[in-house]
Every structure is written in structure tokens, then in C-alpha cells.
Amino acid sequence: MSERLRLMAVHAHPDDESSKGAATMARYVAEGAEVLVVTMTGGERGDILNPAMERPDVRENIAEVRRREMDRARDILGIRQEFAGFVDSGLPEGDPLPPLPEGCFALTPVEKAAEPLVESIRRFRPHVILTYDENGGYPHPDHIMTHKVSMHAFDTAGDPDAYPGTGDPWQPLKLYYFVSFPFERFEAITSLLEERGLENPYEEWIKRIRDGGDRPRWEITTRVECGAYFDVAERALKAHETQVDPNGFWFAVPNSVLAEAWPTEDYHLVRSLVDTEVPETDLFAGVRDTVRV
């Protein structure tokens, strides 16, 4: 009997799954893999970033609205999705920064916060896990905590003595960090826009990064070609209506141009319990030789 490949992506809030790795997931679903997104919080403290959705009925029911948005995005991507059940920590602002709200995800002890994720891993039995780096991709408290619980869960889900009562042990084989917005991607897009004589909406953003000096970055070890699924990822992201303005920055360049300039989504291989060689073009490299598919 053959076994289907299984991919799990661990995210902090609804909408993160559609802005990071969405085309990759859509591609693997189309190829027959099972894909599960675990969303650690409900996004209850997220801002409303689309002016058209700044309405009292949305603001007063933001948790329910964001769950409905997640349902639509899930169906568009063809994935499975579940919430881990923690409360959004919000993004503190000010100087000095205010304390995080009591009971939020980012203040939960790592061992406790990892338990529902371990349970999901043991139930779904993923071969590969995707998550954020130690900076969270960007330093939101929930993204940083998502990194911590993902690493802890990867290391303990296969331990029969850890987390009794959460299912039979299961050891994932590989773990990756998202490398979602490599600077080289925007340079490639800029070159193509200039070649075509098109306006570059990233010009000021790129200038700020260049003027900022050295940028910490992860080596791209794995490039998954998925340009054919950029339209699917865009539709999934637009399903999160409170979080993106359909006329905004995210969608200013046509997907056909993006796919021509940089047709991959990119990752950094952090852990591997199977033999593989980098650079890779497949998150399941080495896994396919281990699992009968």
C-alpha cells in the first residue's frame, strides 16, 4: 500500500497561511499530498487593514469574522485547517512598550503552548513541517512564540514519554523555515518591471531596505516552483478581507510578472532526519525515498 505525503504548516494567525507558502501548499494538494495548517491563535486582536471592512459589525465580531475568512481561504487552497485555541497577543506599540495582555498566546509557557500542536502532529502524522524562524519572520510576539512551540513540538512529538494522552508518538522527518520575502526576489521583480517599462510599487520599500544596511537573512536551501499557483494564493489572501486591501500594495504587480521574475516560494531547511542534498526543489526531497508513495 502506498502512503500519501503529508505537509503541515504552523502559523500564528488567520491570513498568515495565505501570505506565506500558500502557492506551495496549493501545488502539493494538486499533486495529491495532504496538507494541514495549524493556526495557533484566532487573530482576535488583529487590526482591520482594509478600509472597506472598518465597520462596527466587523469590529464587534472580529473573532467570528476572521474564522469565516479562514474557512474561505482553506477551501480555496484545498487544505485542511485547525485552530490550536490560543488567544491573539496583539502587537504592542509605544515607548515604552505596554505589557502583553494576560492569558495571551505569547505569555503561555512553551511546554503548555506546544501541547495542542503535538496532539495535531500525532494525529495528522506529517512528514514535513513549515514554520517561522526565531524572529518570527517579523518580530510579532505570536510569530516568535509560534517558532518556539514548533521547534519544541518537532523535538517531542516522537517521544513516547512526552505529552501522555495526546496520541501515539510521531516523528516528523523535516522542518523548514519560511523565507517569504527574500530581497533577491524583489530585485528580480524590479529588473523585469524596468525591462517592461512598468511602474515599480516596491521602489520605496527596496530603497529603505538598502539604506538600512546589512539585513539578516536565511540561506534559501529549497526553492519550490509554484508560479502556476500564484493566482490561487492571491484568491486565498483576498478571502481575508479584514487583513488586506484588494487595491493595495500586495496586489500591485500581476501574478504573471511575479511568476516570470521569481516563480518559486523559498525555504530554509533546519532539521532533516532523511538524506537530502541542498539546494533542493522539493520539500519532500529524501522523504519520497523513505515513504512508499
Report the binding-site residues: 13, 16, 143
CA distance 244 to 251: 9
Which triple of cell numbers denotes residue 22? 500558500
Which residues participate in the annotated binding site for Zn(2+)?
Answer: 13, 16, 143
Residue with cell 509557557: 109
Provide the grid cell at 108. 503561555
Closest CA to 265 of 230, 234, 232: 230
Tally: H helices and E strands in the chain? 12, 7
DSSP one-letter string for 11-41: ESSTTHHHHSSHHHHHHHHHTT-EEEEEEEE
List of residues 6+ apart from 240 with CB closer than 8 A: 14, 15, 18, 66, 69, 70, 73
Q: How many degrees, rounded to 5, is the angle at CA 273 between CA 293 and CA 222?
A: 75
In whole angstroms, give the CA distance from residue 275 to residue 34: 22
Number of neighbouring beta carbons within 10 Å of residue 103: 10
Residue 156 to residue 143: CA distance in whole angstroms: 20
Q: What is the per-residue DSSP string for 172-227?
A: -SEEEEEE-S-HHHHHHHHHHHHHHT---TTHHHHHHHHHT---------EEEE-G
